[in-house]
Structure 1
Amino acid sequence: METALTRLVGVRYPLVQTGMGWVAGPRLVSAAANAGALGILASATMTVGRLRAAVREVASRTDAPFGVNLRADAGDAAERVRVIVDEGVRVASFALAPSRALIARLKDAGVVVIPSVGARRHAEKVAAWGADAVIVQGGEGGGHTGSVATSVLLPQVVDAVGIPVIAAGGFFDGRGLVAALAYGAAGIAMGTRFLLTSDSTVPRAVLARYLAAAVHDVTVTTAVDGLPHRMLRTDFVDSLERAGRAAALVRAVRAAAGFRRLSGATWRGMIRDGLALRHGRDMTWGQVLLAANTPMLLRSAMVDGRTDLGVMASGQVAGVIDDLPCCAELVERIMREAAEVRERLTAVR
């Protein structure tokens, strides 16, 4: 299936595996790439040195194009861009809108720039700055999310920009791919569906929690870092929502100390990142610290398997997924389903 996305980045199928912290590592990314999708490596939880090693590991596992996801507001963003350029990575994606200068630097080096956005105005801004495509995530998506459903947000963005639009939030099968194409998208991006594969490094006990979840078990809370965050409902999330400000601050300091040891970050840098997220929002100091080191809470679940002490970001689709295929099986199934749906639609016509 050829679309503007497949032509832009050189993949076989218009599918993107999103850059999920602690989840989208070399094994999952290379498996997705080998299956014909665009795999995206999550770098926010890596040091610069580890990022370079991870990029080289992916390249050793696949000859297919892949990407790296960056935090545009990170203090070492320039160093990470240098790794992308030096190592010949095909795509740079961003969770927050990159600056005009950062986009220009990447494009001058031949890197395809694909920011993720949650609103039409953000898509219009990065398109005007030279972004090659955008991933637009509706409220169904996991992690930090908005309140507008994909079915409403996607056509708005498609109509507003003249670059390829990749739909995210609520996709897990071939029917969704065809629906997104009907809206005018060039493909779909999936996080939770790729997380729930046998190529995922997430501990089996955590995968079991995802598979057992019903749709109503996936919630949106601001208790973690003051921002709307879609995740699985757990006793730990309930405790965060019940905790007072003093308890939240103590928990935040402990988590921040752990993240500082793992990442090599400084207290000053972590507070700076937290304040950047606080800008324009009513957040306590505990939430500021958690905003800077939310990756530590994710790591507790996604790496250590501690569902009692960590959070599990999740799209609503976790409630309708009940298996763990490998990436190759998943991609083949999605493309087969999409072909069958298109045949049925042609017959109706």
Structure 2
Amino acid sequence: MKLTNNKIVQLLNIKYPILEGGMAWVGTAKLAAAVSNAGGLGTIGSGNMDASLLKKQIDTIKQLTDKPYAVNVIMLNPHIDEVIDLIINEKVPVAILGAGNSSKYIPKLKDNGITTLAVVSSENLALRLENAGADAIIGEGMECGGHIGDVTTMVLVRKLASILSVPVIAAGGIADGPGALAAFVLGAEAIQMGTRFIATYECEAHETYKRKILEAGIRDTIITGQKMGHPARIIKTPFGKKIAKLESSSPEEAEEALVGSLMKAFVYGDEEHGSFMAGQSVGLINEIKSVKEVIDDIMSYLEKNQIVESETR
């Protein structure tokens, strides 16, 4: 396959079919710019940002790259309407909508010339968002970090590729060339990675966060929030185990403890009160690399295995 013929490369006007996952706090403008400059699609994770905070991130990425980039928007953001308006006003090249049914916002973004992708964890929502006008669907398996569904990447991506007309992007559990190769064999046109990009020099996460990723094995994550209706995968820590217990005995206390816990992990590396969100792919990551090295390694593997044609980088 020639990369110039790849549907996601064409759609997003990028060099390689690799996207950065939309990680709240972790997905800063600096990291997103590094991904875009290395040939992928960098993504600012807007999380619960209001428009003023997101505007600063957008201003920063415009200074750091002239390549396409995306803003990830979660349906749980209380400021979502003003964030959508800002994306339109700032002419952000790509919007990635996730964590819920985004069909309400897709037509508005599309009508204003914004390429719009949607993250799903089920085939029913995928079909609904395709009908709403999504340009591509990101199938995110339960191996991923952060908020998760209940279907594996291998099953979800294969199903989506067999029923959708728009391109499918595989996410969840992918951190290297073999994982990317598997995604393409399943029918994906591109991959999305989050956890792998945390363990890079350009990521601004606390060094403790990165160290925990390097030290973790494939079974060293835990799911919190299941009984509260918003399951999220984090690295297993005493804090995570405490939350899991509180969910049964005192859900209110568990909710209160989770507020700001990702920030505490990202900014301070706080092991007692922080949620170190990461996918099961932590067990595949054993060194810090530059963003460019991560992307080049994957593309070299895909070329070696004849998924894409070899080219000079």
Q: CA deviation at 1:234?
A: 0.6
Aligned residues between the structures: 306
Any idea what the Cα deviations from partners look like across 1:229-261, whole Å, max 9, x if unmatched?
2111111111222337675534644x5xxxxxx
Counterpart check, 1:317 vs 2:285: no
Q: Aligned partners of 1:52 and 1:187: how far apart in 2?
A: 28
2:172 alignment partner in structure 1: 169
Counterpart check, 1:109 vs 2:112: yes
1:178 alignment partner in structure 2: 181
Equivalent of residue 54 in structure 2, options 51, 75, 93? 51
* Amino acid across the alignment from 1:316: Q
1:60 alignment partner in structure 2: 63
Which has the larger Rg? 1
1:26 alignment partner in structure 2: 29
Task: Name stretches of at least 5 consecutive residues in structure 2 with no aligned partner.
Answer: 309-313
SS class of match (2:15):
coil
Q: CA deviation at 1:193?
A: 0.5
Any idea what the Cα deviations from partners look like across 1:269-291, whole Å, max 9, x if unmatched?
xxxxxxxxxxxxxxxxxxxxx5x
8 Å CA contact 2:228, 2:251 repeated in 1: no
1:220 alignment partner in structure 2: 223
Equivalent of residue 192 in structure 2, options 189, 198, 204? 189
* Amino acid across the alignment from 2:262: L
Equivalent of residue 303 in structure 1, options 267, 281, 285? 267
Give the TM-score normalised by the residue count of structure 2.
0.92
* Amino acid across the alignment from 1:79: E
CA RMSD of aligned residues (A): 2.1
SS class of match (1:312):
coil
| 1:224–1:22 Cα change, 3 Å | farther
SS class of match (1:22):
coil
Q: Aligned partners of 1:225 and 1:195: how far apart in 2?
A: 27
SS class of match (2:306):
helix
8 Å CA contact 2:41, 2:69 repeated in 1: yes
SS class of match (2:268):
coil
| 1:241–1:14 Cα change, 3 Å | same
| 1:200–1:99 Cα change, 3 Å | closer
Counterpart check, 1:141 vs 2:144: yes
Task: Name stretches of at least 5 consecutive residues in structure 1 with no aligned partner.
Answer: 256-289, 345-349
Q: CA deviation at 1:117?
A: 0.1
| 1:46–1:244 Cα change, 3 Å | closer
| 1:238–1:81 Cα change, 3 Å | same
1:232 alignment partner in structure 2: 235
Identity of aligned residues (%): 31
* Amino acid across the alignment from 1:307: E
8 Å CA contact 2:227, 2:247 repeated in 1: no
Higher helix share: 1
SS class of match (1:332):
helix
SS class of match (1:124):
helix
Counterpart check, 1:120 vs 2:123: yes
Q: Aligned partners of 2:261 and 2:227: how far apart in 1?
A: 9
